[in-house]
Amino acid sequence: MDERSALRRLAAALPAAGDDAAIVDGVVVTTDMLHETTDFPAGTTRYTAGWRAIGASLSDVAAMGAEATAAVAAYAAPSLVETELDDFLAGAKAVCTAVGAEYVGGDLDTGTEFTVASTALGETDEPVRRSGAKPGDVVCVTGRLGRTAAGLRAFEAGDVERGNDLFRFPPRVAAGRALAPHATAMMDSSDGLARSLHQLAAASEVGFDVVWSDVPVHSAVDDYATDATDRRELATAVGEDFELVCTLPPAAVAAAREAVPVSLSVVGDVTANGVRMDGEPLADEGYTHE
C-alpha cells in the first residue's frame, strides 16, 4: 500500500479527515511527520528542518483559511546534540513568529533516524474546504511554484546554502486568511500543482482547464531546469511548495488580489470534469512517498 492509498483509507475511516486539517469546535489541528532520508537532503541544517517541519503544518492551517495560533513538535534523533536542538528550536520559533503563531514546546526522543513530527493549531469559524469549487470559478495560486524542486536541485549540486534558503518557505497564513472570504475551495500545493488540482477536482466533483503559460514559475527553477520539459516538471509535479491553490468566482478575483499580501495568479478555469493543461489531460502525478 503506498501512502496515497493509505491516506484514502485513513480518510474513509475518519469523517473529519481528508482535508488539509481537522476542525474540532473551531480549533484547527494538523500533524505531519518528516524524516531525514525522505524529507531533509544532506546539507539541510537543523534550523531549516525546524522551520520547514513546523512550516508544513502551518501551511495546512493556512489552507483552511484559519488564523495560526500555536505549534508543537516532537523531535527524535539518534543522539540529542545541544547545538542541533538549539538550531532546530530557533528555526521552529522563527517560522511561528513569521505567521503570528506561538511555538509552545514539544517532546524529545532518541530514534534510529532524525524525525520531526509537527502539529499546528489554528482558529476559524468559517473554514475553506476542498469541496466548494464550482464550474465557472477560476483557479488561482499564490506566489510562484517550483521553489522546493529548485531547492532539491541546489542540494544535489552541492549548493547547500541556496538549498537551505529555498527550503525555508513562507507559510501562506496571511494569504489564506485574506482568501477565506472569497475562496470557494482551497488547499496547499504540498503534493504539487498537478496532484492538488486532482484532489480539488475529486473533493469538489469538478474539473480544471489550466494554462501552462499562466502558471507562475519560481525564478530559481530557471537556474536548475535542464530543458522546457524539466522546467514544467519542476514547477508542477515535484510539489512541497506550500503555496495555496484556490478557486474563486471571477468577480472576486480583484478583491482577493487586493487583500492577499503576495502575488495571486489565475492559472485556469473550473470545468465540469477532467483535469487538463493546455487542453491535454494532466497526469495525477506528484510527490508520493513509497
Q: What residues line the site for its own copies (CB under 8 A)?
A: 1-3, 5-7, 9-11, 13-14, 16-18, 22, 24-25, 27, 29-35, 37-38, 69-70, 72-76, 79-82, 85-86, 89, 102-113, 115, 117, 119, 121, 123, 289-290
Closest by CA position to 149, among listed 243, 70, 12, 259: 243
Is 284 within any annotated ligand binding site? no
Is 19 within any annotated ligand binding site? no
Minimum Å gap between C-beta 194 and its own copies is: 21
Nearer to its own copies, 4 or 231 (CB): 4
Is 39 within any annotated ligand binding site? yes
H or E segment and range at residue 177: helix 173-179
Minimum Å gap between C-beta 59 and its own copies is: 13
**What Cα–Cα distance (Å) separates residue 80 from each residue in 54, 57, 88, 115, 196?**
19, 23, 11, 12, 36
Is 190 within any annotated ligand binding site? yes
**What Cα–Cα distance (Å) separates residue 232 from each residue in 106, 148, 261?**
39, 14, 26
One-letter amino acid at 233 equals: E
Is 240 within any annotated ligand binding site? yes
Nearer to its own copies, 24 or 228 (CB): 24
Q: Three-class SS of residue 233?
A: helix
Nearer to its own copies, 11 or 157 (CB): 11
Nearer to its own copies, 113 or 222 (CB): 113
> Hey, what's the cell of 267?
492559472
One-letter amino acid at 239 equals: G
Nearer to its own copies, 107 or 278 (CB): 107
Question: For the chain, what is the largest distance between any 2 Cα atoms, rounded to a whole number of angstroms?
Answer: 55
Question: How many whole angstroms separate alpha carbon 267 and alpha carbon 264?
Answer: 9
> Hey, what's the cell of 29?
489541528
Question: How many whole angstroms separate alpha carbon 273 and alpha carbon 203?
Answer: 12
Is 60 within any annotated ligand binding site? yes
Question: How many whole angstroms separate alpha carbon 144 and alpha carbon 282?
Answer: 19
Is 230 within any annotated ligand binding site? no
Is 204 within any annotated ligand binding site? no
DSSP code string of 270-290: EESS-EEETTEEPP-------
Minimum Å gap between C-beta 34 and its own copies is: 8
Nearer to its own copies, 105 or 274 (CB): 105
> For 200, what's the count of Cα atoms within 13 Å in the CB-facing half-sphere?
40
Minimum Å gap between C-beta 3 and its own copies is: 6
Is 20 within any annotated ligand binding site? yes
One-letter amino acid at 237 equals: A
Nearer to its own copies, 11 or 254 (CB): 11
Q: Which residues does the annotation place in the binding site for substrate?
A: 39, 240, 287
Q: Which residues does the annotation place in the binding site?
A: 20, 30-32, 39, 60, 106-107, 130, 188, 190-191, 240, 287
Q: Which residues does the annotation place in the binding site for ATP?
A: 106-107, 130, 190
